[in-house]
Amino acid sequence: MISIFIFCLCCLTAGARNLPYHFSGAVGRGSGTSFTSDPPNTGTGRITGVKVWELNNGYIRGLQIKHDYDWGELFGRNTDIEHEFILFEHEVIVQVSGKYNPGNWIYLLTFGTNWGRTFTVGQASGISFNFFQAYPLQELVMVSGRFDNNGLSSIAAHWGVLDLGSTDLPYHFSGAVGRGSGTSFTSDPPNTGTGRITGVKVWELNNGYIRGLQIKHDYNWGELFGRNTDIEHEFILFEREVIVQVSGKYNPGNWIYLLTFGTNWGRTFTVGQASGISFNFFQDYPLQELVMVSGRFDNNGLTSIAAHWGILDLGYTGKNESDVAHH
């Protein structure tokens, strides 16, 4: 049986860049306090239960995730009507769906499992969303989002492949900082190549905040997040150089003001003004590197940023020799 499982796993991963992580970007208004249901540092980290509170005939009030034996932190409020869902052994969550009103809160949450069971709480009111894993072996490993004094205003899903023989998760999420209003974004790596980050572009307003951000994976620049106006800065990584730190400053009332990307070669790329509240994002384990960023932007610039860390295959970087240059 073990040999069959290993053979099937090799078949799944041999022909494509099957990364061990996947991120379903946030939906909802996104105001309030940022949260992440981080798994504990002991055990497998597998999600084993979910609690959801709803307002009668209204929106989602609160959310709580159980990893292994322990319930995590409450996000939102544990008032009104409580619902609890406990997973069986070997049952995992493979879908998160629901509905939201872009002007206020999440109204409906549905968690679907690999055993065909669904746990649904809330009202079918608003815009629909559907989060799925990217590859068959992935499962829900954590959720993130925002909540205010009334309830959940935003939600996102994080998928990963768990090694049940190890407590070192291949994926780590540094939760969002900043106001968080505007359009949600994720710098998804392409479906070809290694998916490694090989370059960063940042635009800043003179003596002001961060206007825009663009990430290069392998050979290709991804989508622009924000605006590519004012002053542009570009940073290209060397072969086998990876980003191991994202730091900066933000004003909780408006935008991100400073961004610094630090690498395993000791180089730092800094853009913006040292104004506001500091933040520092790091990987959780030595082999992890920055694999994507997410956040929000409005018509002026970046209002929020978060970092996603993972372990990639070091055998191939997908970089041209012409790409290896200082900027």
**66-97 per-position pLDDT tens digit:** 999 999 999 999 989 999 999 999 899 999 99
131 pLDDT higher than 90:
yes
Q: Are residues 180 and 50 in the same domain?
A: no
HSE-CB for 69 with a 13 A CA cutoff: 3
| Residue at a domain's end among 167, 193, 212 | 167
Query: Does residue 23 sit within a domain?
Result: yes
Provide the mean pLDDT of the chain.
85
- CATH code of the domain in which 53 resides: 2.100.10.30
Q: Are residues 224 and 160 in the same domain?
A: no
Number of residues in the chain: 327
Residue 68 to residue 65: CA distance in whole angstroms:
10
pLDDT-based confidence at residue 163 (cuts at 50, 70, 90)? low
Residue 64 to residue 315: CA distance in whole angstroms:
39
Query: Does residue 4 sit within a domain?
Result: no
Query: Does residue 250 sit within a domain?
Result: yes
Q: Are residues 145 and 206 in the same domain?
A: no
Q: Are residues 149 and 100 in the same domain?
A: yes
Q: Are residues 153 and 193 in the same domain?
A: no
Give the number of domains in the chain: 2
Domain that holds residue 146: 19-167
Determine the pLDDT at residue 13: 37
Q: Are residues 257 and 162 in the same domain?
A: no
Q: Are residues 286 and 153 in the same domain?
A: no
Q: Are residues 143 and 192 in the same domain?
A: no
Q: Are residues 142 and 247 in the same domain?
A: no
| Residue at a domain's end among 114, 140, 167 | 167
pLDDT-based confidence at residue 324 (cuts at 50, 70, 90)? very low
Query: Does residue 10 sit within a domain?
Result: no
Determine the pLDDT at residue 193: 59
Pairing of strands 60-67, 70-71: antiparallel
- Tens-digit pLDDT profile for residues 26-80: 999 988 999 999 776 655 679 999 999 999 999 999 999 999 999 999 999 998 9
HSE-CB for 315 with a 13 A CA cutoff: 2
Mean pLDDT value across residues 304-310: 93
pLDDT-based confidence at residue 17 (cuts at 50, 70, 90)? very low
Determine the pLDDT at residue 180: 84
In sequence order, the 6+-apart residues with CB closer than 8 A to the CB of 126 are 99, 100, 101, 102, 107, 108
Query: Does residue 162 sit within a domain?
Result: yes
3 pLDDT higher than 60:
no
Q: Which residues of 43-76 are buried (b: 16+ CB within 10 A; e: fewer)?
A: ebbbbbbbbbbbbeebbbbbbbbbbeeeebeebb
Q: Are residues 81 and 188 in the same domain?
A: no
CB 18 within 8 A of CB 12: yes
User: What's this model's pTM, rounded to 2 decimal places?
Assistant: 0.71
Q: Are residues 137 and 186 in the same domain?
A: no
pLDDT-based confidence at residue 314 (cuts at 50, 70, 90)? very low
Query: Does residue 222 sit within a domain?
Result: yes
At which residue do the structure tokens 């307003």 appear?
205
| CA proximity to 108, closest of 40, 71, 65, 54 | 54
CB 285 within 8 A of CB 224: no
Residue 41 to residue 169: CA distance in whole angstroms:
9
Q: Are residues 179 and 87 in the same domain?
A: no
| Residue at a domain's end among 142, 167, 192 | 167
Query: Does residue 31 sit within a domain?
Result: yes
Residue 12 to residue 15: CA distance in whole angstroms:
7
Query: Does residue 26 sit within a domain?
Result: yes
